[in-house]
Amino acid sequence: MQDFGMKAIATNSKKPLCTGIHRGFSFGSQVTNEVIMKHFKVTVQYLNGVDFIYECDAQSNWQAAAMARVEGRRMGLGGSMDVKNTIIEEC
């Protein structure tokens, strides 16, 4: 098997954020795109009397309700016009 010159390089992630301060320039702070996910239990009540319960991780209760309605639609329970009520609980 040939190597093709590829080698795994182990790096130390504890490098300083600002480099070149002694040269007179600096870089800004790192921006983290951290997303806080919460766990929701959503009950979608349809006009035909069926209650669909869906648990998911989402950023907001609006997003959790949308995910539950889409999943209910995928399972054949009805579209958005068939939804009577949506109950959202954060677990």
CATH of the domain at 54: 3.10.20
- Could you tell me if residue 15 is inside a domain? no
Q: How many domains does the chain have?
A: 1
pLDDT at 8 over 50: no
Q: Facing residues of 46 across strands?
A: 83
For 41-81, what is each residue's pLDDT tens digit? 999 999 999 999 999 999 999 999 999 999 999 999 888 78
Whole-angstrom Cα Rg for the chain? 24
Write the DSSP symbol of residue 31.
Answer: P
Residues spanned by the domain of 77: 35-90
pLDDT at 1 over 60: no
Give the residue with greater pLDDT, 90 vs 32.
Answer: 90
pTM above 0.95, yes or no: no
- Could you tell me if residue 46 is inside a domain? yes
For 20-37, what is each residue's pLDDT tens digit? 555 555 555 566 677 789
What does the pLDDT read at residue 43? 96
Torsion of CA 25, 26, 28, 32, to 10 degrees: 150
